[in-house]
Amino acid sequence: MTSPQAILIDALGTLVHFEHPGPHLRVELRDRLGLEVSETQAKAAMRAEITHYRANLHRGRDAHTLAGLRRECATVMLEELPPEAREADLGVITDALVAAIRFTPYPDALATLRSLRERALRIIVLSNWDFSLHEMLANTGIDVLVDGAVSSAEHGTAKPDPAIFEYALALAGVPATRAWHVGDSPEADVVGAQAAGVTPIYVARDDSPAPPGVVAIDELDELLGLLD
């Protein structure tokens, strides 16, 4: 493989993982509203919210539209909660929902990003995410370790569309032949990178087999060995 000048890297499943939101939602509703919600109810509520969000995340393209999408998701979530929850202020319910959604960097993520920066590589986070991608990166300490971030909602196209890869390459200031894209989705990350002429590196955190002919790593820090 040609040595890269830039690393494009996916967020969810590659840099960060999604904490189980049900327990957090129960705590947030109890603290904010004194509302007791069962584990089963919380799971059902978050399942409904996540399903709706995934189908509509592209609409959260800026602060205003994201706020509207979050209120919409909270309304969907309410259908699975006790009737008294529907009597509460929607703004409070929305705040509880947002607070319950938390992301944590994988143990090897921050150290790997620091090592990549020490090698003078440009690093761009490229993710199918809404406008809050930047907020999440700041909350997890990732923002100071990368040179930029591109969310699908802001750009208007999502991986595997090569257009969003081309935008990330322009942000990095390198041609496709001098970039690697690191991600955990065979379709969005591998197929998308290949369509854009970028070398894909597949992250198989769940031990899933790599697509044929694609270099795979089990942990993110193994990326450093590929650069040596």
Per-residue pLDDT of the chain (228 residues; tens, 9 = 90+): 789 999 999 999 999 999 999 999 999 999 999 999 999 999 999 999 999 999 999 999 999 999 999 999 999 999 999 999 999 999 999 999 999 999 999 999 999 999 999 999 999 999 999 999 999 999 999 999 999 999 999 999 999 999 999 999 999 999 999 999 999 999 999 999 999 999 999 999 887 888 899 999 999 999 999 998
Q: Is residue 69 part of a domain?
A: yes
Query: Do both 11 and 119 map to the same domain?
Result: yes
Q: Is residue 118 part of a domain?
A: yes
Predicted TM-score (pTM) of the model is 0.94
Q: Is residue 46 part of a domain?
A: yes
How far is Cα 186 from Cα 208, in angstroms, rounded to an integer?
Answer: 10
Q: Which residue has the tokens 């992250």?
A: 203
Query: Do both 97 and 120 map to the same domain?
Result: no
Boundary-marking domain end, from 85, 101, 117: 101
Q: Is residue 191 part of a domain?
A: yes
Q: How far is CA 199 from CA 2, 4, 42, 108, 133, in A?
A: 9, 9, 41, 22, 24
How far is Cα 205 from Cα 143, in angstroms, rounded to an integer?
Answer: 22
CATH number of the domain that residue 140 is part of: 3.40.50.1000
Boundary-marking domain end, from 101, 127, 150: 101
Domain holding 39, by residue range, is: 20-101
Query: Do both 212 and 109 map to the same domain?
Result: yes
